[in-house]
Amino acid sequence: MDKKFAIYSLSEAAIHDGNGYWSNEFGWTNEEQATLFALYEVVDRGLPNSTGQDARWVEIQSPTTRVVADASDKPLIEILTELKNRGLTQADVLSVYGVPRDENPYASYLQRHLGNDTEMELDDNVLLSETDDGCWVSCWRYVDDETVGINRHALTMVVDLDERGSFKAHVENYTGDSIFEFSNEDEHGNPNDDGVWPVTAGYMRHNRDTRGLLSYLREIVGLATEKNTLTVSG
């Protein structure tokens, strides 16, 4: 019996309710509708685009069994992370793991009784965790910046190194992510005699000049707005 092959994509299966097989007629579909190819076609044919760029040939051993080449080599969390980096959204995940809000008695009850509550919302598909006498329903609860004490316009220049002629610093946003960094070190980590480049270029008067650096971030590189403030730490 001649071997038959199909095209399979784990990423397409993840976002299309398990429909990760390719059909020349229907696109990504279930295994029953998958187009089957002979070995000589596998050699000459290119693979279709997939969300995770992971389309591959799989051998059909029986009408219901596929051998997916190295599909189990990676932990599922790594595959999910890769799909996220390639554009997989939370809504995509909910479409697989969640249930339609309006079709579930717990979720539909909660939706009806939200009334004018503008600080809580439910997705179209929700996650459920049933208990002995009820059910937890996933939802969104709004929390404003003032309540938490967050100033999203606050930037901080964190001085990482300031000794023995070396100076290194970076700018963090309100979440602690670095958005800009500068130093007077060369590629080998040695201090440059010319000094810190924003100072040398005239954007800052001295290494800790927050006013000059903030102006540079606003006007030159577009990493800050008129609402942003900048303080020094370290």
Query: pLDDT, tens digit, for every residue of 141-160?
Result: 999 998 988 999 999 999 99
Amino acid at residue number 41: E
Which of 109, 161, 165 minimizes the C-alpha distance to 139?
Answer: 109
Q: Collapse the DSSP code of 167 into the 3-class scheme (helix H, G, I; strand E, B; otherwise coil) and give the result.
A: strand
Q: What local confidence, expressed as pLDDT, does residue 61 receive?
A: 59
Please give the average per-residue pLDDT across 11-38, as a whole number.
Answer: 87
Q: What local confidence, expressed as pLDDT, does residue 65 receive?
A: 40
- pLDDT confidence of 229, banded at 50, 70, 90? very high
Q: What local confidence, expressed as pLDDT, does residue 206 receive?
A: 92
Domain ranges of the chain: 4-77, 98-142, 154-233
Q: Maximum Cα–Cα distance for the chain, whole Å?
A: 80
Determine which helix (DSSP H) or strand (DSSP E) holds 191, and give its type and residue range: none
What does the alpha-carbon distance between residue 121 and residue 26 come to, in Å, rounded to a whole number? 35
Please give the average per-residue pLDDT across 191-200, as a whole number.
Answer: 84
Tens-place pLDDT, residues 58-74: 887 544 344 344 445 66
Q: What local confidence, expressed as pLDDT, does residue 197 receive?
A: 85
Q: What local confidence, expressed as pLDDT, does residue 66 receive?
A: 41
What does the alpha-carbon distance between residue 137 and residue 5 come to, in Å, rounded to a whole number? 42
- Whether the predicted pLDDT of 215 surpasses 50: yes
DSSP code of residue 45:
P
- Whether the predicted pLDDT of 45 surpasses 90: no
Which of 159, 150, 124, 155 minimizes the C-alpha distance to 139?
Answer: 124
Average pLDDT of every residue of the chain: 85
Please give the average per-residue pLDDT across 154-178, as a whole number.
Answer: 92
What does the alpha-carbon distance between residue 200 and residue 216 come to, in Å, rounded to a whole number? 13
pTM as predicted: 0.51
Tens-place pLDDT, residues 112-142: 888 677 888 999 999 999 999 999 999 999 9
- Whether the predicted pLDDT of 234 surpasses 80: yes
Most confident of 39-43, 81-85, 229-233: 229-233
Q: What local confidence, expressed as pLDDT, does residue 73 receive?
A: 63
